[in-house]
Amino acid sequence: MHRGPLGPRVLNAFARGTLVRTDDGPHMQEMQVRLLSGERLSGVERIEGYGLTTHPPAGSELVVGFVGSERSHPMVLGVGQRGVRPVGGAAGEVALYDGQGQVIRLAAARVEILSPLPVTVQSEQSVLIDVKGTVFKVSDGRIDMGEAPAPLRMMTEAGPSNVIWGVI
């Protein structure tokens, strides 16, 4: 471990830079980065939070930390890209986003899914939507509205019915 004066070690513990490319194949992402000092590093591991992974585009800004202030063990600690992050969130809100304008926002009073692209919900069993007890269940080849004993009734050409047949 480096045993020099504390000041230079602290100054060398972190560096800012930009992302050149990402290798998403290994168990832990490896990045090629260009530091603001002009130094270029390859095979730099990126630490991500458990349960969430991203593949940031080239040109993203990043912070690299050097374990023990040793340049031989760099790790990407954070990556961001100006201009694509949703802004204006309230305290305590959370948003998951990408560079295409797709956002899932956990807002104070609601959950929002925003996308300029098609949205897909896929399940091997069924999808259930429950709004204050009004239930819509989509399962293999059918859509059920309401639950027994009093399912929802829809107006059809033949009158009110809780059974509607159609091609899905």
**pLDDT at residue number 108:** 87
**pLDDT at residue number 167:** 62
**pLDDT at residue number 158:** 80
What 3 state SS string does 113-139 have? EECCCCCCCCCCCEEEEEECCEEEEEE
pLDDT higher than threshold 60 for residue 148: no
- What does the alpha-carbon distance between residue 146 and residue 150 come to, in Å, rounded to a whole number? 7
**pLDDT at residue number 149:** 53
- Asked whether residue 93 falls in the same domain as residue 40, the answer is no
Vertex 151: Cα angle to 146 and 153 (nearest 5): 105
pLDDT higher than threshold 80 for residue 147: no
For 132, the domain range is 126-161
Is residue 166 domain-resident?
Answer: no
Identify the band that residue 8 occupies on the pLDDT scale cut at 50, 70 and 90: low
Whole-prediction pTM value? 0.72
Of the candidate ranges 88-97, 103-112, 119-128, 158-167, the one whose mean pLDDT is the lowest = 158-167
**Structure-block tokens of residue 167:** 């091609």
Residues above pLDDT 70, as percent of the chain: 86
Mean of per-residue pLDDT scores for the chain:
87
Distances in whole angstroms, Cα of residue 44 to Cα of each of 52, 67, 79: 19, 12, 13
- Asked whether residue 76 falls in the same domain as residue 92, the answer is no
- What does the alpha-carbon distance between residue 165 and residue 142 come to, in Å, rounded to a whole number? 8
- Asked whether residue 12 falls in the same domain as residue 72, the answer is yes
- Asked whether residue 76 falls in the same domain as residue 88, the answer is no
Domain tally, the chain: 3
- Over range 132-146, report the average pLDDT: 80
Identify the band that residue 62 occupies on the pLDDT scale cut at 50, 70 and 90: very high
| Residue position matching structure tokens 């399940």 | 123
Is residue 26 domain-resident?
Answer: yes
pLDDT higher than threshold 90 for residue 136: no
Is residue 1 domain-resident?
Answer: no
